[in-house]
Amino acid sequence: MAEEIGKRVLDKGWLAARSTEVHLTGVELTTTHPPTSDHPPWMQAVVPGTVLATLVKNKLVPDPFYGLENQAILDIGDSGREYYTFWFFTTFECKLSMNQHADLNFRAINYSGEVYLNGHNVVLPKGMFRRHSIDITNILNPNSENLLAVLIYPPDHPGKIPPEGGQGGDHEIGKDVAAQYVEGWDWMAPIRDRNTGIWDEVSLSVTGPVKIVDPHLVSTFFDNYTRAYLHTTVELVNKSNSVVDCSVKIQVGTELEGDIFLVEHLQTQHLSIPAGSNILYTLPELFFYKPNLWWPNGMGKQSLYNVEITVDVEDHGESDSWSQHFGFRKIESHIDIDTGGRLFKVNGEPIFIRGGNWILSDGLLRLSKKRYKADIKFHADMNFNMMRCWGGGIAERPDFYHYCDIYGLLVWQEFWITGDVDGRGVPVSNPNGPLDHDLFLLCARDTVKLLRNHPSLALWVGGNEQVPPDDINTALKNDLQLHPYFERPANCKHSVKEIFPIFRDPSEYLDGTRIYIQGSMWDGFANGKGDFTDGPYEIQYPENFFKDDFYNYGFNPEVGSVGMPVAATIRATMPREGWQIPLFNTMPNGYVEEVPNPIWEYHTYIPYSKPGKVHDQILPYGTPKDLDDFCLKAQLVNYIQYRALLEGWTSRMWSKYTGVLIWKTQNPWTGLRGQFYDHLHEQTAGFYGCRCAAEPIHVQLNLMTYLIEVVNTTSEDLSDVAIEVSVWDLEGACQYYEVFDKLTVPSKRTMPTFEMKYPKSENPKPVYFLLLKLYKMSDYEILSRNFYWLHLPGGDYKLLEPYKKRQIPLKITSLTFIRGSSYEVRMHIENTSKKPDSRSLLQSNNNSDAPLWLDREKKQKQSLFQKVLKNFSPKSNGVRVAEIDGTETGVAFFLQLSVHASKKDKKDGEDTRILPVHYSDNYFSLVPGEVMTVTLNFEVSEGITPRVMINGWNYQSGYTVV
């Protein structure tokens, strides 16, 4: 029987061994002496992955992400390259029929290698970011398994790690076309093998005589996006030694529901391809009337079409096929005249950028679709709309981009240049980039072909805080120049037939649809001139972000702060000596210096104080007693810090700023700075501060002016909306209540409304809670909810410490849906402590809308209960009600949900958390009588029974509620 046409991923059954311990040649390994896993030095390998990932898997080295264990692993700078030069081996079956051809594909290796297949040898040339495809048709064993051995060599210049560490070590890695973070950074320990290995997908592709290579899809629009065209150019390779007549078919459709597929276009073209030749073939454009557009997160749906291209060869049948999800969208950008910042438009609509800097998912390149999906969804959950792939990391993989397409994250993709390694640093690094400029450009062009069809890809950038060397920069500018159409307005009235005879079809360009910016601080980013005007990277007073002089330029590509994880993560990733909290040393100038333990220092902890600039932001809550207390108070600061950062930027949307990218969203290892979720996939409270601040419609308090502002980033005006303002004290009394109604908020606008007067009133409380709600007046639907804890000027939060003992009752109604290993839990959480009396509200505030508020709360609770009953089905495990007793009235403060595995034989200190979990909200607070709906989504391993727990400021011991 013939092999099935298509791609087969080879990710199972790989073995690995250190080359110096293997005394056989590649020919012998793939003919007479194939290795087995039960014969040392061979071991099970991680492919895709790295040498170090394989060694960790086999427990031959300690986990480099745990405690100080990375220091116990031999660094390649000390061992020499041979120590991390490894063989990888696997077998596969493939039996070709007449006129079939097979290619062995490596989507990426690091850094060079030799392939042996059934005794035949092929060299894999250098470069971390290039694909390799080997025609193996004539060297396959037709009647038996095929033996494959790959010898992988580390980067040519792995460098040494100076005793003081530093940004990119001794910078030697910059001489190669490879990731630069591997020599260590101020947020990352060195990767000992420099990521040597087969770090991306290995596959076998079987075709007929003609193979499809790198199709390019481009959409163009006319008449204000009512008319669209799909342009397609494809490379066709005739692998046979004779002319072939073939037909190229393109099919475009959408998935309606389940297995139902709607075909919108089907077109076939006939052509002949000379023997042994490669041709570029441009298909006639396909016309779409009012296609469903792809929008970034928060602007609309991420509509995707499935494009499938097949080639049928005469007298053979189907020869090859290719498919790709494709989004109809147009991305434009220019330097905004008013702000000097780069302004992005998608489908003609300006988009205010709120996003983050991304390094990579895992420092050992243990990349997977499952992990990528969680990573990208986390960013969408935070209401972000852009991710910047930093230049010291990697060219991100197609799986990363697939989920950015799904969840609507625009991507800024940088090439592999950083100022620290390519022109600056200590010692001063080589400004001329990698030694082999042609190799850099080959990898760059191949990366463009790999990623260019993804709608989420928004722009290419030459380097981080540095411009590539002149010849590379000039070549990239030429290669990535825009097609003339993409320099025209989208509402062009001309027809496609009038425009494109003048210019080449846009799909014939290498890209042609996205801008190229030479560096991360040029042309509308930072001050636009390459000066160091990004940052800062430390703790701030929350009100600082609202000040006129906090940041002077329109688009900040990097501004960073703290990122302490929860205590459970510290215990899971560090030995007991790493559980010691920092010492708080008071300095002569009155500021406090945090002194972390050596393990935290190694894991690049960033303190919550900046002596001389910012007083410690944890101490206003009281001196922490232990790890749990420290991490809980750190979460309070995390939430306030990042919400204020984004609210400060959004407060000046378009008037001063066009966007901001936070440094950084996550860590590729167990670091302790600049993150919204840790390497184990547990979110910090900063995650939810961002989620709150970046919602498309948002109500917020300007911490400098105390004006209440409404943010509307959507394309529609808001009309007939109201803001409800309530202030609550620590006794559970509503001290201030006011409703501002009949408001209209224009589209794409931040609008100041009214001043929050409570602090200026008589006898204000030293610590108080502020709840803002923006809602529709027609049906009381809440559009935005924002909860603050505040103190009077010059005060602190120490009164919150005794507030922990206040017993606030809760009622939790839940419904759980189980689909295989996937769980969805819908929870309605109510603070059942006594509500304020409506008469007292009327008397104290003289506001006739107060009873309206109480009626709305009642209606909402009825509505929530009706939804619970409506959603009840045999697929669920039924409605459950849990109550937490309490005798006092007050705000249920800083509630946190978590999911754990139920274990009867739980060991002391064992981490039972189930991660990741996607929460619709977390670290939230409820005023008396208030109800909130929270949804949890997660997966569990077979045989595990999950339980949901709730903790909080008033619920320190935790309660199992589901």
On whether the CB atoms of residues 199 and 86 are closer than 8 A, the answer is no
Residues 6 or more apart from 525 whose CB is under 8 A from it? 341, 342, 517, 534, 555, 556, 557
Q: Closest Cα partner for 950 from 868, 892, 903? A: 892
Where does 424-535 have alpha helices with state H?
Answer: 437-451, 470-479, 496-499
Residue-wise over 353-362: b if at least 16 C-beta within 10 A, else e? bbbbbbbbbb
Query: In whole angstroms, what is the distance from residue 9 CA to residue 201 CA?
Result: 7
- Establish how many alpha carbons lie within 13 A of residue 341's alpha carbon, considering only the half-sphere containing its beta carbon: 29
Task: For the chain, count helices (H), then strands (E).
Answer: 15, 45
Asked if residues 272 and 297 have their Cβ atoms less than 8 Å apart, the reply is: no
Helix axis angle for 850-871 and 838-845, nearest 10°, is 140
Amino acid identity for residue 611 in this structure: P
Of the candidates 571, 592, 569, 591, the residue with the CA atom closest to the CA atom of residue 582: 592
- Report the 10 Å Cβ neighbour count for 525: 28
Two tokens at 728?
């609550």
What is the Cα–Cα distance from 519 to 960, expressed in whole angstroms?
50
Q: In what order do the strands lie in the sheet with 718-728?
A: 734-745, 718-728, 767-776, 782-791
**Which residues, 6+ apart, have CB-to-CB distance to 760 below 8 Å?**
none
Return the DSSP state at 182: G
* Catalytic residue, candidates 201, 285, 414, 465: 465
257 in Cβ contact with 286 (< 8 Å): no
Q: Yes or no: say if 129 and 446 are a contact pair by the CB < 8 Å rule.
A: yes
Residue 922: which residues within 8 A CB-CB, separation 6 or more? 683, 685, 687, 688, 895, 896, 897, 934
Cα 450 to Cα 200: distance, rounded to the nearest angstrom: 13
CA distance 434 to 175: 4
Q: How far is CA 480 from CA 135, 441, 469, in A?
A: 30, 12, 16
Cα–Cα distance, 261 to 280 (Å, whole number): 30
Of the candidates 30, 20, 112, 18, the one whose C-alpha atom is nearest the C-alpha of residue 58 is 18
- CA 399 vs CA 302, 395, 410: distances in Å: 16, 12, 14
Q: How far apart are CA 141 and CA 729, in angstroms?
A: 79
Catalytic residue among 396, 558, 709, 738: 558
- Separation of alpha carbons 136 and 101, rounded Å: 8
Q: Which residues contact 752 (CB under 8 A, 6 or more apart)?
A: 702, 705, 707, 708, 709
Bridge partners for 357 per DSSP: 388
Place of tokens 């601080």: 521
| Distant-in-sequence, close-in-space partners of 656: CB < 8 Å, separation ≥ 6 | 339, 554
Cα distances (Å, whole numbers) of residue 765 to 91, 681, 733, 791, 938: 73, 38, 11, 8, 41
Query: Within a 10 A sphere around the Cβ of 566, how many other Cβ atoms?
Result: 24
Contact between residue 302 and residue 405 where contact means Cβ atoms under 8 Å apart: yes
Calpha distance 921→936 (Å, rounded): 9
The two tokens of residue 1 are 């029987």
465 in active site: yes
Q: Which residues, listed in sequence order, are joined to residue 87 by a DSSP beta bridge? A: 17, 151
Q: Which residues are catalytic?
A: 465, 558
